[in-house]
Structure 1
Amino acid sequence: MIARLAGTLVEVAADHAVVDVAGVGYLVQASGRTLDSLGGVGSEVLLLTELQVREDGWTLFAFGSTGERETFRLLTSVQGVGGRVALAILSVLTPEELAGAVSRGDKAMVGRANGVGPKLAQRIVNELAGKIGSHPLAGVAGAAPPRGGAAKDALSALANLGFKPAEASSAVAAAVEDLGPDASLDSLVRLALRKAAK
């Protein structure tokens, strides 16, 4: 299993890139968003990857973030969504935007991607409901990481209790939203723990 590539970018096209790793060129399929973030040919890049093996060949997909890769995995678990369709969706929607669309049942937003018709968009919304928004790495739509004061201390407290950064951030953001920015550290931590346990 190839989990990541670190090397020199030697080619970028509309839907793929080639990364030279110790003299071996790996062709990776990627979303437009990831390809746009790579920089120019000759740049040093680090990409997370997902290898799909099928009867007709092997395809290596590349991602700029853990959240994008996890969302890709969720998308390709939906019947009728292959790797290329999942990348098309991730080219027009960030993982957070997709999570928001799924939580609102907004199939029209999902259907903006090339190759996604109304029926497939509805299936994606139905099958990912309850999965993508609660997935710690996919992010929560609109939940920016809390900053400063009690929120920062609450984040640190949850991290010390063993929560992953994304889980802690989402839980504390939800607690701040419920209690307001002036909430005490004690009340924030208690509510964030309840949110994280759901």
Structure 2
Amino acid sequence: MIGKLKGLVESVADDKALIDVNGVCYEAHCSGRTLTAMPAKGEAVALFIETYVREDQLKLFGFISESEKQWFLLLMTVQGVGAKVALAILSTLSASELSSSIALQDKAMVGRAPGVGPKVAQRIVSELKGKAPVGGAIDAGVHGLQEALGEGVATGNIADAVSALTNLGYAQAQASAAVARIVAKEGDDVETEKLIRMGLKELSS
């Protein structure tokens, strides 16, 4: 079983990379995020590998970080999520954004990934609640939000406020952090509109 490849980049295509390891080239299917982070042809690279074995095929999936690999494996525990969909999600959302989406039960965020419909997105945020990989990247703002709410899942008004701030152009990490600070001070029953106003004030200070 191959766990990691260290070699030279031979080529990079739309959804895979060819890695030359001492003259033997391995084809690894990767997320768009991993392919973007790949060095130029001929340069050294290390990929964490998940080996996919079936009767009629053998595929290698490559990841630029151990965290991305763990998210890939975790996503595929959800019914309806295969390797292709898992890679699409990891191409669309960073590990941090995925953690935020699950903590906030934001199925719309997960649904941005190609091939992820509303039902699958709902299953992902529901089934993966509290299951972020060990060592996975979670925004400090989301940690604060989880602590403030106690259970790690935002109530409707808080999720709506974070969503509204995100729609106004703020990064989800920024919006989550701002709302987390407000909830820590004011409690989790603040009305959505007030949370948004206070969040905007927090973000502009």
Deviations 1:69-102 (A, max 9, x none): 1111100111111111111100111111101101
Letter in structure 2 aligned against 1:130: G
- Listed as ranges, the matches of 1:126-165 within 5 Å are 126-132=126-132, 135-142=133-140
Q: How far off is 1:139 after superposition?
A: 2.2
Deviations 1:133-171 (A, max 9, x none): xx3222223369xxxxxxxxxxxxxxxxxxxxxxxxxxx
> Does 2:3 match 1:3?
yes
Runs of 4+ in 1 over 4 A off after TM superposition: none
CA distance in structure 2 between the partners assigned to 1:87 and 1:56 by the alignment: 21
Q: How far off is 1:66 after superposition?
A: 1.1
Letter in structure 2 aligned against 1:80: G
Residue correspondences, number = 144
TM-score by length of 1: 0.69
- Listed as ranges, the matches of 1:152-191 within 5 Å are none
Report the 3-state secondary structure (helix = DSSP H, G, I; strand = E; otherwise coil) of the residue aligned with 1:115.
Answer: coil
> Does 2:31 match 1:23?
no
CA distance in structure 2 between the partners assigned to 1:143 and 1:37 by the alignment: 25
Report the 3-state secondary structure (helix = DSSP H, G, I; strand = E; otherwise coil) of the residue aligned with 1:25.
Answer: strand
CA distance in structure 2 between the partners assigned to 1:29 and 1:143 by the alignment: 32
Unaligned runs of 5+ in 1: 145-176, 180-198
**2:170 aligned residue:** none
**1:117 aligned residue:** 117
Letter in structure 2 aligned against 1:64: I
CA distance in structure 2 between the partners assigned to 1:19 and 1:32 by the alignment: 16
CA distance in structure 2 between the partners assigned to 1:73 and 1:136 by the alignment: 13
Q: How far off is 1:27 after superposition?
A: 0.3
- Listed as ranges, the matches of 1:30-179 within 5 Å are 30-132=30-132, 135-142=133-140
TM-score by length of 2: 0.67
Q: How far off is 1:22 after superposition?
A: 1.2
Letter in structure 2 aligned against 1:142: A
Letter in structure 2 aligned against 1:29: H
CA distance in structure 2 between the partners assigned to 1:54 and 1:125 by the alignment: 28
Deviations 1:18-45 (A, max 9, x none): 0011111100000111101112111111
Unaligned runs of 5+ in 2: 143-180, 185-205
Task: Check the 8 A contact 1:70/1:137 in 2, yes or no.
Answer: no
Report the 3-state secondary structure (helix = DSSP H, G, I; strand = E; otherwise coil) of the residue aligned with 2:134.
Answer: coil
Identity %: 49
CA distance in structure 2 between the partners assigned to 1:12 and 1:40 by the alignment: 9
CA distance in structure 2 between the partners assigned to 1:130 and 1:44 by the alignment: 36
CA distance in structure 2 between the partners assigned to 1:107 and 1:67 by the alignment: 21
Task: Check the 8 A contact 1:29/1:60 in 2, yes or no.
Answer: yes
